[in-house]
Amino acid sequence: MIKRVRVSQPRILMYHAIADPAHDPNKLCVSPARFEAQLLYLKQHNLRGVSVKELYHARSTGAAKSLIGLTFDDGYKDFLHAAVPILESFGFSATVFVVAGLLGKKNRWEHAHNPTPQMELLGATDLLEVSKRGMEVGSHSLTHADLSGLNPRMLEEEVKGSHRVLSELLGEEVAGFGYPYGHLNHAAVESVRQAGYAYACGWRILLKHGGGAYNLRRIYISEKDNHLRIAAKLKLYSQYSVITQRFKRR
């Protein structure tokens, strides 16, 4: 059952990998050519893609009308080698949510459809380069666990532990968190808040009450999203947020 509720949240797009795999059952990949076309659409409509950290700072000063958040879940290595150069060519920035306990390894967590392509993840040196080039690094937990099903001790380890690892690596406080699989509940939101993050992004599920900056919905973007679909998604998002209690993992 789908329930639509009005929201006043910033517009944030959600990507995963910028790559062209021959087999992509989980629909994680957007080709570089399609990604570039999507950013061109934003620029042609006087929208500038920015990190969520920058977006929230602009909102606090009333200057966010022409900004749209760009996020990348999982922290695939192609973010640095494919996404960042395209972002830079448009003068855009973005947030990449990385799995802090798997830096430099592969996406070995559970997926909805298997077998899924094994893709390399950003390593520690990569993250320093990403940050140096003006992109925001956020946490996607330690192991990409479903936070909504964890006991308090494991939840704290995934949330607070990943904050510590990334903050020490980057030499600055990590501001953002992306809920793995988009799963969140009140316990997960409170854990993220207590760990010291400034905001957190989900996907299809939102808490019906409360959460504030730790309860942000995003617009899922895929290879199929040409300029007409992007326009429709942005228009729909400006009016409604969709809450669904059942969905497939990505």
User: What does the pLDDT average to over 186-210?
Assistant: 86
Beta strands 136-139 and 95-98 are parallel
User: What does the pLDDT average to over 61-68?
Assistant: 84
Which of 174, 228, 183, 227 lies closest to 202, judged by CA? 183
Q: What is the residue whose two structure tokens read 């390399």?
A: 120
**8 band by pLDDT with thresholds 50, 70 and 90:** low
- Distance between CA atoms of residues 219 and 203, nearest Å: 7
Compute how many other C-beta atoms are within 10 angstroms of the C-beta atom of residue 193. Answer: 18
Q: Which one is predicted more confidently, 21 or 23? A: 23
Say if residue 1's pLDDT is above 80: no
- Distance between CA atoms of residues 247 and 236, nearest Å: 19
Per-residue pLDDT at 117: 86
Mean of pLDDT over the chain: 89
Joined tokens for residue 72: 């990348």
Task: Report how far apart, in Å, the C-alpha atoms of 58 and of each of 61, 64, 67, 69, 195 are.
Answer: 5, 5, 8, 11, 24
Say if residue 249's pLDDT is above 60: no
Say if residue 248's pLDDT is above 50: no
Q: pLDDT tens, 143-189?
A: 999 999 899 999 999 999 999 999 999 999 999 999 999 889 999 99
Per-residue pLDDT at 207: 72
Per-residue pLDDT at 116: 85
Q: pLDDT tens, 76-120?
A: 999 999 999 999 999 999 999 999 999 999 999 999 888 888 999
Q: pLDDT tens, 229-241?
A: 999 999 887 654 4
Question: Where in 129-239 does DSSP place strands (E)?
Answer: 136-139, 176-178, 199-201, 219-220
Which DSSP category does 182 fall into? Answer: G
Per-residue pLDDT at 88: 98
